[in-house]
Amino acid sequence: MATPMTPTLIVTRPEAQGTAFGQAIATAWGRPLHVIQSPLIAIEPVSASVGPADALIFTSVHGVAGAVRLGLPKGLPAWCVGPRTAEAATAAGYKATTGPGNASGLVADLIAAQPAGRLAHLRGAHARGDIAADLRQAGLDCTDTVVYAQEPLALSGRAAQALAGKSPVVVTLFSPRTGVIFAESGPYNAVVHAVVISQAVKDAISDLHPAEVITAATPDAAGMQRAVLAALAAVDGVS
């Protein structure tokens, strides 16, 4: 009787978030699992200056960290893309409003709410779309400031080795930028099952032609966890 294969999962998130996500998957999976941490971007602070603002917009926890680093006043309202970012903003002392989990939905919420005063979006150097421009077009006063950069990283040695093999590998991709970096690092010998957070990430890896692409039903960590578990079950032959 053949020995059951232990699935391999490559997590490409920045280090702290990737470790927590990998641990959550391993716990939820509850069976043997090879988890390989291979961050494809490193978050680097950027020198910046944010002018007077009546409310902040955060589309990642890194934006929250940037606000803290720049000493923006605690107690400001903070419009946050999703629950994890809202938790970070609340912990940092801001009055968080939780968005629907994606940038377009957050823009729609802001336009519907019509908050008074000046909004300030704190973001990374690489961003898909232009939240501040969309809000200005809708009549809101909004600036944006780059407070961190997403520097590319090479695949870790363990990840490269797994992707050079012949066994199936489940790979998580949380942003279009990580999708582009992963695709440009290919092609791969392994059978790649990609789990992506959005259609934009799926588009970013289209030239790679993975064996399977599963798009999370919701663009957040919970949605990605469900999608990863589904991919692992398929690889492991569990229905």
Residue type, 175: S
Would you give the distance in Å from CA 197 to the centre of its chain? 7
Residues 6+ apart with CB under 8 A from 153: 38, 39, 40, 41, 42, 181
Write down the pLDDT at residue 239: 39
Nearest to residue 198, comparing CAs of 232, 168, 223, 180? 223
Please check whether residues 24 and 106 belong to one and the same domain: no
Write down the pLDDT at residue 127: 81
Write out the two tokens for 140.
């809101």
Please tell me the distance from the alpha carbon of residue 14 to that of residue 178, in angstroms, as a whole number.
10
- Identify whether 86 is part of a domain: yes
Please tell me the distance from the alpha carbon of residue 81 to that of residue 59, in angstroms, as a whole number.
5
Write down the pLDDT at residue 4: 60
Q: What is the mean pLDDT of residues 68-87?
A: 94
Strand ranges in 88-204 using DSSP code E only, listed in sequence order: 95-98, 118-124, 141-152, 168-173, 191-196
Q: What is the mean pLDDT of residues 162-177?
A: 94
Please tell me the distance from the alpha carbon of residue 172 to that of residue 148, in angstroms, as a whole number.
22
Write down the pLDDT at residue 1: 34
* Average pLDDT across the chain, whole number: 92
Write down the pLDDT at residue 210: 92
- Identify whether 1 is part of a domain: no
CATH number reported for the structural domain that contains residue 71 in this entry: 3.40.50.10090
- 195: pLDDT strictly greater than 90: yes
| Percentage with pLDDT > 70 across the chain | 97
Tens digits of residue pLDDT in 103-141: 889 999 999 999 999 999 999 998 877 999 999 999 999
Number of domains in the chain: 2
Write down the pLDDT at residue 102: 83
Tens digits of residue pLDDT in 31-73: 999 999 999 999 999 999 998 999 999 999 999 999 999 999 9
Domain coverage including residue 35: 8-40+153-236
Pairing of strands 141-152, 168-173: unpaired
